[in-house]
Structure 1
Amino acid sequence: MNANVTSNQSTSPATLTCAELLIRLLRDTYGVSTLFGIPGVHTVELYRGLEGSDVQHITPRHEQGAGFMADGYARASGKPGVCLIITGPGMTNMATAMGQALADSIPMLVISSVNRRDTLGMGQGRLHELPSQQQMISGVARFSHTLLDANTLPEVLARAFAIFNGARPGPVHIEIPIDLFNAPVDAPSSWQAPTLYRAAPDPDGLAEAARLLKAAKQPLVLLGGGCVSAPKAARALVEQLDAPTVTTINAKGLLGREHPLDLGANVALPAVRELAANADVILAVGTELGETDYDVVFDGGFLLNGTLIRIDLDPEQLVRNQRVTLGLVGDAGRSLELLLGHFPDSLQRQGAKRTASALSALNLVKDPAFSDFVPLYTTLAEHLPDAILVGDSTAPVYAGNHLVSQPAPRRYFNASTGYGTLGYGLPAALGAQLGRPDLPVVALVGDGGVMFTLSELATAVEERLPIVIVLWHNAGYEEIRRYMDANGVARLGVDIQAPNFLTLAEGFGCSGVMVGSPSELSRALTKRDPHRPVLIEIDAAAWQKNLIETGDNNEK
C-alpha cells in the first residue's frame, strides 16, 4: 500500500520556531487538516503556529473527549487523529482514550507539552509536574518520546507516521518541553513525506497457505479490523474460497451488507462456534483472536481444532490466543490481494449453505437477548441507510454487534471491544462526523455511560455537527445489574440518578425528543433538522412495553 501523502509545496522562511515547524510538518508533509485540543498555558505557543495555517482546530470540553474524537476521526476516515494536550492533568485525562486506541490499533498522534528540560524529574513542584510523564504514558502508546533537541522534530514525526503507515498502528506520544517551543530551527529542504510500502508476506508461505486452503473440505475465514482498507480483495478471496466468514465488530461491512458468506461477529454464539470447531482449515487475517470478539460470553468455549493459518503485520500477534500452524507476517490488505492471485478459479464447498444454516440456527431476530433492538436498527437503516454507527458500552450496542450489517467498512465501531471504556460513543461520533462529513453519523449511548462525556454536546453544537444521538435510558448500569444478579451480589452502585437529558440538551443548544416506540423513533428521525445535532432519548421501559403489546419486533 502506497502511504505517500501529497505535500503542500508552499514556500516558507528559512528559520522557524519549533512550534511553527511542528504545525508546518503536520499540515504540509503529513496532510493533517484537523487537530483536537484544549489550549493551556503550556501550549499557547503551538497556537501561535496554528494561526493562519488552514488547519481546523476543534476544542472539546475534556482531554478524554479530545482523544475519543481523534479515535473516531481515525476510524471513520482512515487518517490518523491528532491531539494537542497540556502537561500533567491533560495527559492523565488523555490516557484512557489512548488505552482504547491502543487496544484497537487506531492511529493517533498525541503531542503534549512537558516542563522545561532543566526541571524534568527534579520534583520541584512545578505547574503540572509529574515524576515522569513520558514513563507514565508509554504504557498506552506504541512509543513515547521526549524531544530534547528541536532539530530532531522532523525525524521523530517521521517515526510516528512510519508506525501509522507501515506497522501495527496505535497511539504515539511526543512531548515537547516548554522551553523548546520558541527554539529556532531550520526549515527542511523538502516538505515531502517519504514513500512507504507495507510489508508483504513471504511468497513460499503464501503458496503453502494456498495449498492448505485448496485442500480444505470445510474452510473458515476470520477477518478482523486490520483488513478494513481492502474490502474488494477480502470479498473476492472469500468468494473464491467459498468459505463462511466471520467479520469481527471492527470489520463489519468488509464484505458488504448481507453477504451470503458473512457470519458477522457472531462467533461467540453456539451455531457459529460449532462451525468453527469443525472447520478443517481456518484463515485468520488482521485479527487478534481476542475474547471481546470471539468469546463475549467469557467461558473459554471458542475452539479452533483445524489447521490455523494466520496473517498479521505484528509477528508477536501470530502466536497469541490460539495455536497457529502457519504464520505469515504482512499487511492484511496486501496479503489478501496476493493470496487471491493463487485462486483464479472459484472453489465449490457449499459455503453459502453452511453460513445460512448457522445463521438460521441462531435466529437472532427472535433471540430474547437481541429482539428488543431489532426494530431500533430496522428503523435506523430505513432512515439512515449509509450512517456510521458509533457506540458506547450499552445494551443497544451489545445487540448491534450481532444484529447490524453495514454496506462498507469503517461504518460501525464502539468501545465494547478491547479496552471497553465508557463515555466513548458521543465524542467518537463527533470525530467520525468530522472525518466523514459526507455521511450521517449516529451515536448509540446509554444513560450511564453518556454522563462520562456529556459535556461534548457543547462541542457538537459549537461545530454544528448534525449527529443523531440515540440515548437508551434504562435507569442505570443494566449490564452490571444483571451480572450482580447472576452472581448473587446485592445491587449496589448501579441504580443511579439520571438528569433530565432533554433539559440538558436544550441548555447546550441541542434539540431533543423522548420516544417510547419504533414508530415514535421513525417520526423523530423524519422531523430532525439535518443541520444540527439531535438527542433522541428512548425510554427503555416504554419501548419494551410497546413491543410486548404490539407483538411485532419489526414495527417501524
Structure 2
Amino acid sequence: MSTPNRTGTLRLTVAQALVRFLAAQHTERDGVRQRLIGATWGIFGHGNVAGIGQALVEHAALMPYHQGRNEQAMVHAAVGYARQSRRLSAHAVTTSIGPGATNLVTGAALATINRLPVLLLPGDTFATRPADPVLQQLEVPYAGDVSVNDCLRPVSRLFDRITRPEALIPAALQAMRVLADPADTGAVTLALPQDVQAEAYDWPEEFFAERTWTVRRPAPDPRELDAAVREVRAARRPLIVAGGGVRHSGAEDALRALAEATGIPVAVTQAGKGSLRFDHPADVGGIGHTGTATADALARTADLVLGVGTRWSDFTTASHTLFEAPGVRFLNLNVAPFDGHKMSGRTLIADARTGLEALTEGLAGHRVDPAYEAEYHRAKAAWEDRVCAAYAAPDPAARPTQAQVLGALDAFVDGDDVLINAAGSLPGDLHKLWRPRSAQQYHVEYGYSCMGYEIPASLGVQLAGPDLRVWALVGDGTYLMMPTEIVTAVQEHLPIKVVILQNHGYASIGGLSESVGAERFGTDYRFRAPDGTYTGEPLPVDLAANAASLGMRVLRAKTVRDLREALADARDSDVPTCVYTETETADTVSGVPPAQAWWDVPVAETAGRPAAARAREEYEQRARSRRRHL
C-alpha cells in the first residue's frame, strides 16, 4: 500500500512507483485505446527481488506478471506479444544484475533491429557503493560508473540508469515516448540500481495519472506526395516491395486498394509477407535471396521500386545485385526517415496506411499496361505450380521432406492460425513457398534471425491472441538453443503447438558452407569418425522425449501419413502439444526451388582446397554484378 505524505504526494519506493506508473500508461490509435505495458515478465535475483519483485507483489492487481525460465526468452516472448499487438502494446522484462541482465542483450538486439517495443528493467549495482565490488559487479579501472548493463546501450533505442529516485520521472516519461513512437521504437532499457529500487521518495500524484500516448499517423508532405505520384505515373514497370511497416501500421487494406486500382504487382519481404493474401492477383510472393522467381524477375526489370515500410536488408536486395535495370529509381514510403533515405530513393516520409491512401487518391485513373499485368499473372501461376510440386507427397508411407511438412501444415491452417519461425533453412522455404491466408498468419523474425526465438515468441503471440492457434516451427538446432519456455507454456496452460523437424544438424548453414567451399565443416550433429571429423553416425538425441519431460504432450510422426494425423490432432488440442518428425535431408531429396538471387557471403580469396577455389571463382563473378544505387 502507498503511504500518504504531504498534500499531493505518495510515499513509495522507486520500484513501487515505477510499477504503478507503468500500469497507468496507454496508447491510442484510430480511436482504439489499450494498455501500453500489458504485463511484466520476471526472473528474480538479489538485484531485483527486494525492489521490482516486492513492487510487483504489492501491485499485483495493477500489473499482470509472467514467470519465465530464461532472460533472453522472456524478451522474445515480449517481442512476440508486441508484434502480434501491432506495436500498440508491449511487455516489460525484469532481471537481476549480472548474468540475468547480460542475458537480455540478444533479445534487445532482436527487438531493436525489428523495430519492436519492449521495456527492459534490469537490476544494477549499488548507486551508493556501500561495498566495492559487490557480487556480480564488473570492475572497470578507468570508469567507476560502468556496469554490465552498459552492454545494452548499443542495442537499445533508449538507455538510462536511475541513480536517484527523482530521476525516474523524466526517464520513465522518455521511455514511454520511445515505446509508443512508430519511427523510433525498439528496446528501451531502464537500469535500476538495487539500492535505489528500494529507496522511498515522495512522488507527486500527477506522476501516476492515466496517460494516453497517441501513436501518430503522419501524413506525407504535399510536395513529396506530388513528386511520388509523378514518379509512379511515369513508370512502365513499377514494383511495390511491402515490408514490416505495412503490418505495424495496419495498412493491408490500403495496400490492397492501391494494387487493385493500379495493377502494380506487390512483392514482400519476410516481415511484410501476408500483406496481401497469397491468392490475390497482385501478390507475387517473397523478394530477394529467398524470394520467388516471379518477384525476382520483376525486380530485375523494374524501372521504379516503391518500398513500403522496408529496411532494405541485404536479403531483400540480394546484396545490391537484384535491381538491374539501367536507371532504376526507388521511392521509399516509410514513417522512419532513416529507412526512408536508403537506396538513395525519393522519400515519402509518412505512416504506411496514410501514405498508401494518399498515393491511391493521387493515382486515380492510372493503371499499368495490361500486358505487364498479364506477364506477372502468368509467372505467378507458374510459381504456384512449383509450390504444389514441392508440397506434394506421392508416397504417404515415406519420411517427409521439409517442404512436405509445410505442405501438410498448409492443409490444416487457416487465417486464425499464426506460424512462427526465425532461423535455419525454414525461413527461406517459408518465404518462397508459404501461402498466407491473413495478415497475422506469417510471423517470421528475420531481422536478427535468432535461433531460439520461436517457442518463447509463441507464448507472447498466444497471450496477445488467446483464441489463436499458434504454431512454432523449429529445427533441431534451434530447439536445442532454447526449449525452456515449454515449461512456461505448460504452467500457464497456453495451448501452443511446437513442430520439431529433426535433420541432425544446421541444415541451412550446412548448405551455405558447401556453397562457399567450407565443405559443411562443423554443421552436422554426428559422432566423430576415425579421421576426427564429425562425419560418423547421427547423435542419438531424442528431442521428443525432451519436450515430453518438460511437460508437453508429444505426437511422433514417422511418415507423411503420420504427420498429417498428428497435425490434425495438434490443431484441436487445448494443451501445449509437440509434433515431432524426422525429415528427409536436403542432399537426398529436394523439392524446394533453389535461391533465385544472390547473397553476399565472402569466400576465401586464397585456399589450398579445390572446393574453396571453385567457390571463390563463382563469388568474384557474382560480386561483379553488385551496384550502388546513387
TM-score scaled by length of structure 2: 0.78
Specify the alignment match of 2:422 in structure 1.
392
Match of 2:367 among 347, 361, 369: 347
State the secondary structure of the residue aligned to 1:249: coil
Alignment of 1:207-218 (within 5 A): 207-218=226-237
Query: How far did residue 349 of structure 1 move?
Result: 3.1
Specify the alignment match of 1:380 in structure 2.
409
Specify the alignment match of 2:110 in structure 1.
100
How many angstroms apart in 2 are the aligned matches of 1:517 and 1:302?
A: 42
Does the 8 Å contact 2:124/2:147 carry over to 1?
A: no
Does the 8 Å contact 1:36/1:84 carry over to 2?
A: yes
179-188 or 33-42: bigger deviation: 179-188
Query: How far did residue 490 of structure 1 move?
Result: 4.4
Match of 1:287 among 295, 299, 310: 310
Task: Indicate yes or no: 2:49 matched with 1:27.
Answer: no
Gaps of 5+ in 2: 1-7, 27-34, 139-145, 394-400, 526-538, 592-630
One-letter code of the match for 2:119?
Answer: L
Task: Indicate yes or no: 2:152 matched with 1:137.
Answer: yes
Query: How far did residue 260 of structure 1 move?
Result: 0.9
How many angstroms apart in 1 are the aligned matches of 2:75 and 2:324?
A: 35
One-letter code of the match for 1:330?
Answer: A
Task: Indicate yes or no: 2:298 matched with 1:275.
Answer: yes
Deviations 1:346-403 (A, max 9, x none): 6253364233233345454267799944443333233231211101313333201111
Deviations 1:182-220 (A, max 9, x none): 322414322223445243321111121112212322211
State the secondary structure of the residue aligned to 2:103: helix
Does the 8 Å contact 1:42/1:178 carry over to 2?
A: yes
Does the 8 Å contact 1:201/1:328 carry over to 2?
A: yes
Change in CA separation of 1:481 and 1:543 when aligned onto 2, cut-off 3 Å:
closer
One-letter code of the match for 2:507?
Answer: E
Alignment of 1:152-231 (within 5 A): 152-166=167-181, 167-182=183-198, 183-189=200-206, 190-228=209-247, 229-231=250-252
Specify the alignment match of 2:468 in structure 1.
439
439-448 or 298-307: bigger deviation: 298-307
How many angstroms apart in 2 are the aligned matches of 1:15 and 1:70?
A: 30
How many angstroms apart in 2 are the aligned matches of 1:421 and 1:389?
A: 16
How many angstroms apart in 1 are the aligned matches of 2:435 and 2:22?
A: 36
Q: CA RMSD in A?
A: 2.8
Specify the alignment match of 1:478 in structure 2.
507
Does the 8 Å contact 2:302/2:323 carry over to 1?
A: no
Match of 2:332 among 305, 310, 314: 310
Alignment of 1:373-522 (within 5 A): 373-385=402-414, 386-415=416-445, 417-496=446-525, 497=539, 499-522=541-564
Change in CA separation of 1:300 and 1:193 when aligned onto 2, cut-off 3 Å:
same
State the secondary structure of the residue aligned to 2:225: helix
How many angstroms apart in 2 are the aligned matches of 1:498 and 1:343?
A: 61
Does the 8 Å contact 2:20/2:62 carry over to 1?
A: no
Does the 8 Å contact 2:402/2:583 carry over to 1?
A: no
Gaps of 5+ in 1: 1-11, 549-556
Aligned length: 530
Deviations 1:309-340 (A, max 9, x none): 112222222333x231x112222232223323
Specify the alignment match of 2:46 in structure 1.
41
One-letter code of the match for 2:499?
Answer: V
Specify the alignment match of 2:611 in structure 1.
none
502-511 or 484-493: bigger deviation: 484-493
Match of 2:347 among 314, 321, 327: 327
Does the 8 Å contact 2:158/2:178 carry over to 1?
A: no
Deviations 1:458-497 (A, max 9, x none): 1111111111111110011122222233333344432223
Task: Indicate yes or no: 2:93 matched with 1:62.
Answer: no
State the secondary structure of the residue aligned to 1:525: helix
Task: Indicate yes or no: 2:581 matched with 1:538.
Answer: yes
How many angstroms apart in 1 are the aligned matches of 2:377 and 2:403?
A: 19
Does the 8 Å contact 1:473/1:538 carry over to 2?
A: yes
How many angstroms apart in 2 are the aligned matches of 1:516 and 1:544?
A: 19
How many angstroms apart in 1 are the aligned matches of 2:407 and 2:293?
A: 25
Specify the alignment match of 2:528 in structure 1.
none
Query: How far did residue 133 of structure 1 move?
Result: 3.4
State the secondary structure of the residue aligned to 2:219: coil
How many angstroms apart in 2 are the aligned matches of 1:169 and 1:318?
A: 16
TM-score scaled by length of structure 1: 0.88
How many angstroms apart in 1 are the aligned matches of 2:9 and 2:562?
A: 59
Does the 8 Å contact 1:59/1:459 carry over to 2?
A: yes
